[in-house]
Amino acid sequence: MAKIKTIGVLTSGGDAPGMNAAIRAVTRAGIYNGFNIKGIYRGYDGLINGEVKPFTTENVSGIIMQGGTILKTARSMEFMTPEGKQKAYDTMVKEGIDALVVIGGNGSLTGARDFAAEFDVCCIGLPGTIDNDLYGTDSTIGYDTTLNTILECVDRIRDTAQSHERIFFIEVMGRDAGFLAQNSAIASGAEAAIIPEEVTDVDQLGRFMERGIRKSKKSCIVIVSESPKCGAMYYADRVKKEFPDFDVRVSILGHLQRGGRPTARDRILASRTGVGAVEAIMQGQRNVMVGVRNNEVVYVPFADAIRTDKPLDMKLIKVLDELSI
């Protein structure tokens, strides 16, 4: 196996607070250990189109506190094609890039896995996603910051909910994972969370209405995981039809959740996993995601990180139930 001399780093998919801290960590740990570092702009699209620039420590100076990603990001449809992957590989050969560090979520790491399998290149993944849905790491880069952003928004909305005696359905991100909804509901003192992990034969809204608000509360907050079929608007419409006496409002937080300065927890996670990525390359590891589990840096095969559903602790549902009476 040829010795790795140059590491390319890119960010892909949805941006997440802490990505810049991860870029900084990969760059500086790489340089410290004798590697050349090249930044790849606009994710896999940039790899396809040759948007590559040599990185020094100065390129990543003063970025640890910034949200978003200085490398920009994109969701690349072309990279999903054989032709796109071939162009990306050709760029790696042209630029002398021997290993690739991909900072992103499920789709980004799936792309890295497929690319590594087809062209036999070393790919290392960092868990950069606000959804916290990658298996094998206790938290993902951006999750803690997003949770705190949601918390701040809900605290403000509660003032209005109480003043007007309203039910607020607040929709948060998370796709098929309810970590943001469940934990932000507990942290904000919300009355309920409607999440995808709950068994489908339970009417979460009906159970909540019977248990809480119909008995004692005229205002409340319900956190809802985003869903194309039954998001916050769906549940608000149901309440209007089934319980017309209540004043109902909807707030969809949307991309507001993605921005902002990363928390200390996210900066530390990004820094540890970024250094861990360089260490993985030095150890000869390939096609793994770097995570932190039980406060230890771990290396998780792409197949496990991507395919295995990350379980939500169902005890959290009981915690919220007991505290929202």
Show which residues are catalytic: 131
Q: Residue 296: in which H helix or E strand, if any?
A: strand 296-301
Nearest Cα residue to 130 out of 15, 21, 23, 224:
15
- Full DSSP string of 141-200: BTHHHHHHHHHHHHHHHHHHHHHHTEEEEEEE--TT--HHHHHHHHHHT-SEEE-TTS-T
Backbone torsion region of residue 316, taken as left when φ is above 0, otherwise alpha when ψ lies between -120 and 50, otherwise beta:
alpha
Strand 36-40 vs strand 52-55: parallel, antiparallel, or unpaired?
Answer: antiparallel
Q: Could you give the CA distance from residue 288 to residue 291 in angstroms, rounded to a whole number?
A: 9
Task: Provide the 3-class DSSP secondary structure of residue 85.
Answer: helix
